[in-house]
Every structure is written in structure tokens, then in C-alpha cells.
Structure 1
């Protein structure tokens, strides 16, 4: 996935109100940009960090610039969660993610209840599978963690997937790790114990968990490899 061609480097001054960030440009000008990430951005929102922002030509946007990447310890981290599903779809269509057999149909944004939608329904040679994608930007000691803040919505998705699995469908959570310094994935029990406990419960009900890592550069982001998931 290529980033928009109209992009600039800058320095993060602060991230605030969840969806806003102030960035100092190379010219010295300070811009307020949209931060499309509802998590805490723990470990990737330090003031003084190099960032990449992209410009939207949409005249209706109050903040035309978007925070795309933050660099931490020399590693670029994709923080625009609006790109995550597109990355996964691209990897599914290109066969980089090959856990589902031969895919015959791929439908996005599937309503499964009055409360929830899941990211994809995959029809393949192995049957139908509901897939929920989670963006992962937190890495500590080479371990990728999700979530980076308490997530009631994420826990609800696990319960929905367990119910779908009990009804005979495939049910999978895929963690998309948008940085290259992780060697494995674990649920972040030290941040949201309820979520981690629900992961273990959902696994017992037959829900599967996958983790794929993306190569993140200032020009593009691309899922490249599967890494181990440790749920103990």
C-alpha cells in the first residue's frame, strides 16, 4: 500500500483529544493534524518523535493533514488505523495471508448483531470465515501487544466471534502489526486483563488468532510475514 504522494516529514509536538496532534514542520511552522487512532498510542506518541503526515485534497476536512507514521528508536510505526483493513485485504488478495484456502469472495463490514459489525466475511474452499482485524502499534521487548488501552468494543467482538464459531462458522482475529521490531504477539494482560481473559475463553470456543507483521517505510506499508501468537 503506497502512501499518498503529498506527504511531509515533521516532529511530533503533542497528541491530544485522541484525534488531534500538533506537528512542527521542517519550515518551523506548526500544524494541527488529524490523528486517526482511537488507542492510547502507548510507545509511539512521544513528543520529539519524527513523523510523516499526508495531505488530503478533500475541501470539507477541517484538518487536511493526517498523521501516518511515527518513528521510535529508529523504527517507523504505522499509526493510521484507517489503513489497517486495506492492508489486510491487499495481503489476502495477493496470497500473503494464506490461512483460509482459496478465497472466492471477500466482503467487508459485515453486520453480525444490533451492536457489532466485523471487518470481513471470507468465502473460500474451506467454508465461510468471519474475520476481525485489529491494528497493533505497541511493542515492548520485541513482543507486540494488543490492546494499548482498555477496549470494551474489542471484548465484545470476541464474544460475537465465539457465538459465530458455535454456529458452525470460521471465526478469526488477525492482529496487524505495523512495525518491524516484534518477534511474536501476546494479548496485553498488563493493560486490559479482561480482554486477555476473553481471548483465552474465545480460543477455548474455537476462535483462531493470527498475527501478521508489516514492513513500514516512509513511502509504503506492506504486510510481509506471519509471526507467532502466544496466548498463555
Structure 2
């Protein structure tokens, strides 16, 4: 019995250092992830503050697309330089309740869940976060980061700023980023001169600019034009007038 007890003690003495090493490694990894997470959060917050007043020079999406397409000349358009009907059209197309939510359209999310669809409830605020700070895929890490950063952008930026940035980084065709490049490429005009039909056709290419065009009217563009008019009538454009 004494011999077996001594063997058990020897085994315990051998296992204990291994357990301590594993615990130390896990604690080190956890500490490293916490350290990295805090610095990432600080960096994002600084960039949110920075881009509230400074225009983002480019995005990861633009950089990645530059490998496949020549990027058209981009000129930033202040929101006052964009036709009001263009603002209403993109809101009608992408986020009809833009002025009434804090980054997430819970009504639309519930509707999408009820219909059993896997997407379609992304707001303009979420798309700005994805376009400016993150990357283009449907992974859970990206969606999780988007969910964390979106309320910060909503808290720091005005609705006008969110819409302005969105229209200046959105893709309107292969290599066509921003409303200035889109108005020039598709209609040979400037953002402030876009009319009701042109604005609806531009908004209709979102969110599939590589598959959709603006050459001919579509049922989607006609619905967007009607939606933009409705938004103007019922006051859902109040936050960006």
C-alpha cells in the first residue's frame, strides 16, 4: 500500500507542473487577446472621432477592387452638394427608416426573421461601418465587429455625416466609387444635378453594383422613385434635409 501511495505521489508531482504550464499558457493567451482587443477598440474609436470631421481617404473595398478594375477618379461631395432627391432615393433603396433608428432597424430585423431570410436588414449606418472600417464578407467576426462599432458611429456622427460618407464610399459599378464618380460615369453630370429618374437608377444598383446597371429603368428603380417621394411626404427625410 505504501508503495502504491508513493507511486501516486510521483505521478501527481509529474502532472502538476504540466497543468501549471497549461494554465499559464492559457492565461497568457487570454491576456494577449484582451490587450489586443483594447487596442483595437481604442484605434477604432479614434478613427470614428477622426472621420467625423475628416473624409476617409479610401477603404479596404476600394483597395481590393483596384486589383481587378481601374478605379475612377474620386472627388468627395459634401452632402450640400448632392441632390436632395439622391439622398432620399438611396435611403428609400437601402434604409427607409434611417432617420428613426439608432443604427439597427429592429422592425426590419423582425420582419426578415419572420420571413426566414438570411439577410436584408442591414442599415446605412451598418454599411458605413463595414465599408469604412471593416471588410466585405459575411463572416461572424465581421458581423460581430460591425454590431459593436455601429452604435459608436451613431453616437458620434450626425445622420447627415453618416449619409454623406456612405454616398462617397459606396460602389456604383466596377471601379466606380462615390456619388461624384457615379454621376459622372453613368450620366455625365454632377451630384447636385441628378434628377429623380437618375437618382433612382443609381440607387437601384445598390447593393449589387457589379450585376446591375443604370442604362434602362427597372421595376426596382421605379419603386425607389416612389419610395423617395413617400419619404419626402411623410417626413422620414427630416434628419438629412
TM-score, with structure 1 as normaliser: 0.23
Give the structure, 1 or 2, with the largest relative contact order (CA under 8 Å, sep 6 or more): 2
**Structure whose alpha-carbon radius of gyration is higher:** 2
